């Protein structure tokens, strides 16, 4: 009489990660989604500090203008929806300055705004560079 044994600890024939995969799927179904999805457009700015008000009505036009100016100034950026993460590196490739420029809708107004936020680096370098970018884009 020849008996076979289950292979590598799987007694029921299911995959080892099947239980955790089903829990993860159930957790994702029960988690509420964000109200302001990316299809609706840019998010609305709650506070108006660090926001430059533009005369543009189209968020895509403002974003394209910012990307053009950043490209001319050789500042690399990564786009995520209506936000640009910009970084300035030194000669060795280390990040000296990192900041975000986000196109946002203004409350009680139909114009677009540009919210700026310093992530890493010198405050005065960030201030001068952001002013230069916004001046070149003709938003100041």
Q: What tens digit of pLDDT does each residue of 68-81 get? A: 999 999 999 999 99
Q: Tell me whether residue 40 is in a domain.
A: no
Q: What residue spans of the chain are helical by DSSP H?
A: 18-30, 59-72, 123-136
CA gap 92, 106 in Å, rounded: 39
Q: Tell me whether residue 124 is in a domain.
A: yes
Segments forming the whole domain that contains residue 112: 51-136
Tell me the CATH number at 121: 3.30.310.80
The pLDDT of residue 76 is 95
Q: Would you state the torsion angle of the CA atoms of residues 116, 122, 126, 129, taken in this order, to the nearest 10 degrees?
A: -160
How many domains does the structure of the chain reveal?
A: 1
Does the pLDDT value for residue 121 go beyond 60?
yes
Q: Tell me whether residue 83 is in a domain.
A: yes
Phi, psi torsion values for 115, nearest 5 degrees: -90, 125
Q: Tell me whether residue 36 is in a domain.
A: no
Does the pLDDT value for residue 96 go beyond 90?
yes
Q: Tell me whether residue 57 is in a domain.
A: yes
Between 17-31, 48-62, 67-81, 111-125, the lowest mean confidence (pLDDT) is in: 17-31
Phi, psi torsion values for 53, nearest 5 degrees: -85, 135
Q: Tell me whether residue 37 is in a domain.
A: no
Q: Tell me whether residue 129 is in a domain.
A: yes
pLDDT winner (highest mean) among 4-8, 29-33, 40-44: 40-44
Q: What is the arithmetic mean of pLDDT over 119-133?
A: 96
The pLDDT of residue 38 is 45
Q: What is the arithmetic mean of pLDDT over 94-101?
A: 95
The pLDDT of residue 109 is 87
Q: How confident is the model at residue 47 (pLDDT cuts 50, 70, 90)?
A: confident
Q: What tens digit of pLDDT does each residue of 11-38 get? A: 555 555 555 667 777 777 777 766 544 4
**Cβ-proximal residues to 70 (8 Å cutoff; 6+ apart), any chain:** 76, 77, 84, 86, 133
Q: Tell me whether residue 86 is in a domain.
A: yes
């Amino acid at each position: 009489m020849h008996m076979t044994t289950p292979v590598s600890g799987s007694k029921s024939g299911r995959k080892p990660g099947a239980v955790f995969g089903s829990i993860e799927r159930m957790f994702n179904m029960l988690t509420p989604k964000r109200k302001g999805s990316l299809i609706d457009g840019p998010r609305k700015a709650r506070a108006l500090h660090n926001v430059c008000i533009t005369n543009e009505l189209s968020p895509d036009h403002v974003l394209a203008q910012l990307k053009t100016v950043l490209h001319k100034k050789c500042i690399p950026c990564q786009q995520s929806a209506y936000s640009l993460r910009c970084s300035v590196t030194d000669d060795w490739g280390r990040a000296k300055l990192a900041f975000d420029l986000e196109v946002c809708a203004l409350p009680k107004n139909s114009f677009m705004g540009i919210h700026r936020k310093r992530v890493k680096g010198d405050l005065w370098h960030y201030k001068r560079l952001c002013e230069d970018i916004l001046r070149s884009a003709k938003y100041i």
